[in-house]
Amino acid sequence: MTREQLFEQILKKKSYLCIGLDTDPLKLPQHLLDFEDPVFEFNRQIIEATADLCVAYKPNIAFYEAQGPQGWVSLQKTLEVIPKEVFTIADAKRGDIGNTSELYARAFFENMDFDSVTVAPYMGADSVKPFLTQGGKFVVLLALTSNAGSQDFQMLRLEDGSEEYLFEQVLRTSQEWGNADNMMYVVGATQAEYVQRVRRIVPDSFLLVPGVGAQGGSLADISRLGMNRQCGLLVNSARAIIYASSGFDFAERAREAAFAVQREMEALLEELLVG
């Protein structure tokens, strides 16, 4: 999917919601355990109930990997029931030397046809570039993450006289590898005070924003500071939507939770998007 197509979906659905499919086998509603593949059945019903309210789904790959080979089968089946107009993000945080990153790119872009994959920047150019070779596919590079550990290295200041933080150097350097048509960035909603610094370096790129909800970030704050002319935001919510209920009504309640966020996003788009 291209950046233009993603923006069209945002306008059509009045939403920039990304739903995190962090599907934990231990948190599934009891009645799903009778299905042959409970994880897939859970995802299928969540997707059916919410696909008109969101523009992206983001399976957290660890949840599937922790289930062994069966987890990868559930993931593949999940991908197949996501409507083609919804952007897909493999939240895998991969990244290795060139010939190895090529294999990860093959796993997520060819074998599984994801639209994008999250990538860690520590190993530099040749660990990221193999993910940038296919049109309509995106790297979502870690820049400033939502967790406490983001302080350890991402917020270190560099000696080059620029007074910049490491995450700004990551943004700047990565612009030599790709552009807004094949790179997005992870910027946590808990980092709203730094979003203007992000936008100075990558004004046009989409930001994938985790950390609203369970981690304490504010949707309104991150939207006011981070939105650009094409919205440029995908705000992720996982637990607050997919685990809104653990009963028979889990999909219905997930829809209600997603609808509440979509309504808030609709208002923010009206307020902030320069037409």
What are the residues binding a second copy (CB under 8 A)?
Answer: 22, 60, 62-63, 65-66, 68-70, 72-73, 76, 91, 93-98, 100-101, 103-104, 106-107, 111, 120-128, 142, 145-154, 156-160, 163, 166, 169-170, 173
Whole-angstrom Cα distance, residue 1 to residue 6? 7
Alpha-carbon distance values, 139 to 94, 119, 206, 234 (Å)? 10, 7, 11, 14
Residue 41 Cβ, how far from a second copy at the closest point, in Å?
18
Looking at the Cβ atoms of 41 and 168, the one nearer to a second copy is 168
Whole-angstrom Cα distance, residue 107 to residue 101? 10
Of 76, 163, 74, 70, nearest in space to 112 by CA: 76
141 beta partners:
119, 185
For 16-41, letters b (16+ CB in 10 Å) and e give bbbbbbbbebeebbeebeeeeebbbb
Residue 62 Cβ, how far from a second copy at the closest point, in Å?
4
Looking at the Cβ atoms of 120 and 220, the one nearer to a second copy is 120
Whole-angstrom Cα distance, residue 180 to residue 52? 25
Q: Which of 84, 93, 129, 137 is catalytic?
A: 93
Angle (nearest 5°) at CA 119 between 115 and 120: 170
Residue 102 Cβ, how far from a second copy at the closest point, in Å?
8
Looking at the Cβ atoms of 148 and 274, the one nearer to a second copy is 148
Angle (nearest 5°) at CA 262 between 232 and 28: 110
Looking at the Cβ atoms of 108 and 206, the one nearer to a second copy is 108
Radius of gyration of the chain (CA): 18
Looking at the Cβ atoms of 169 and 245, the one nearer to a second copy is 169
Residue 32 Cβ, how far from a second copy at the closest point, in Å?
20
Residue 12 Cβ, how far from a second copy at the closest point, in Å?
31
Token pair, residue 69, equals 């080979």
The reply to whether 93 belongs to the active site is: yes
List the catalytic residues: 93
